[in-house]
Amino acid sequence: MMRSNWISFTSIARKEMIRIFRIWLQTLVPPVITISLYFIIFGSFIGSQLGDIDGYDYMAFIAPGLIMMSIITNSYANTVSSFFSTKFQRNIEELLVSPTPNWVMVLGYISGGMTRGLCVGMLVSLVSLLFIRLPLFNVPFTILFALLTSFVFSLAGLINGIFAKKFDDISVIPTFVITPLTYLGGVFYSISLLPDFWRTLSKANPVVYMIGGFRYGFLGITDINVWAGLGMLLLFSVVLFLITLYLLKKGTGVRC
């Protein structure tokens, strides 16, 4: 049984990889170009006018944030679009009629989201090395935050895909929720520099902790409690996973 589930998982994962690399011009290239532009504009052109933050120049400060931003956006984008197109083309039925348990199905799709999120994150990291030398203060933290954030946003994208009924539905949440939370999540500034009101408000934004923890992994500086960040990511991982399982068990969006 375990072996059967494993084979089922690798089949889904394999299909997701094939998809990501088949449409690499849509999945891998655009985010790398966008983030490179951020590096050039904010890091080089504007950053050179700014002073250091916590002893790092502005380019080094925003690099972890930009990498994390690409991980968040691409993990989410991959599961939401892949799952929705699977529903749209009805090949989700291939999985539904098979004995594959829901949790295996969820992990399969997540493996796709994480592959794309982390691939793009890696590419963006490489791009950043053209501009700066990035230190690595705490490798386990860096990896843990990258993996967990990717996991959480892959799940969130999957939930969005489960609910989505038409193409518009897959861009609403990214546009109105994820992008604002990310831009306001401390990619470009340290929240400790914000006025009291905005700083307090920012602490309610989960992305602040993800970027904060990730930046801590690279630079060893932080404006949040990284352990709280880690705990929150673990909590989100569990809760979103259970929600996804519950939705699939009910058949939401996939069975009539």
Partner 1 sequence: MLALSIQNLQKKYQGGFQALSGVTFDVQEGDFFGLLGPNGAGKTTTIGIITSLVTKTGGKVRVFGIDIDDDFPAAKRLIGVVPQEANFSIFEKVQDIVTQQAGYYGIPRREALVRSEKYLKKLGLWEKRHVPAQQLSGGMKRRLMIARGLVHEPKLLILDEPTAGVDVEMRRGMWDFLVELNRQGRTIILTTHYLEEAEQLCNQIAIITRGEIVENTSKRELLRKLNKETFFFDTKNPVSAVMPLENTEFSFMDDGTLVVTKNKSQSMNRILAHLDQQGIVVDSMRNKANRLEELFMEMVE
List contacts with partner 1 (CB under 8 A): 3-5, 7-8, 10-12, 14-15, 18-19, 22, 85-86, 89-91, 93-101, 251, 255-256
Task: Report the nearest approach of partner 1 to the CB of residue 79 (Å).
Answer: 16
Q: Which is nearer to partner 1, 133 or 166 (CB)?
A: 166
Closest of 151, 111, 102, 99 to residue 251, by C-alpha: 102
CA 33 and chain centroid, separation: 17
d(CA 177, CA 187): 16
Angle at which helices 206-219 and 58-88 pack, to 10 degrees?
A: 130
Q: Which is nearer to partner 1, 130 or 256 (CB)?
A: 256
Task: Report the nearest approach of partner 1 to the CB of residue 190 (Å).
Answer: 44
Q: Which is nearer to partner 1, 95 or 124 (CB)?
A: 95
Q: Which two tokens stand for residue 85?
A: 């197109």
CB atoms within 10 A of CB 48: 10
Q: Which is nearer to partner 1, 21 or 176 (CB)?
A: 21
Please return the burial class of 2, using the count of CB atoms within 10 Å of its CB with bins 0-12, 13-18 and 19+: exposed
Give the type of residue at 54. Answer: D
Q: Which is nearer to partner 1, 9 or 56 (CB)?
A: 9
Task: Report the nearest approach of partner 1 to the CB of residue 102 (Å).
Answer: 11
Task: Report the nearest approach of partner 1 to the CB of residue 254 (Å).
Answer: 9
Task: Name the phi and psi angles at 71, rounded to 5.
Answer: -65, -45
Q: Which is nearer to partner 1, 48 or 252 (CB)?
A: 252
Task: Report the nearest approach of partner 1 to the CB of residue 158 (Å).
Answer: 17
- The answer to whether 158 touches 80, Cβ cutoff 8 Å, is yes
d(CA 22, CA 177): 29
Task: Report the nearest approach of partner 1 to the CB of residue 101 (Å).
Answer: 7
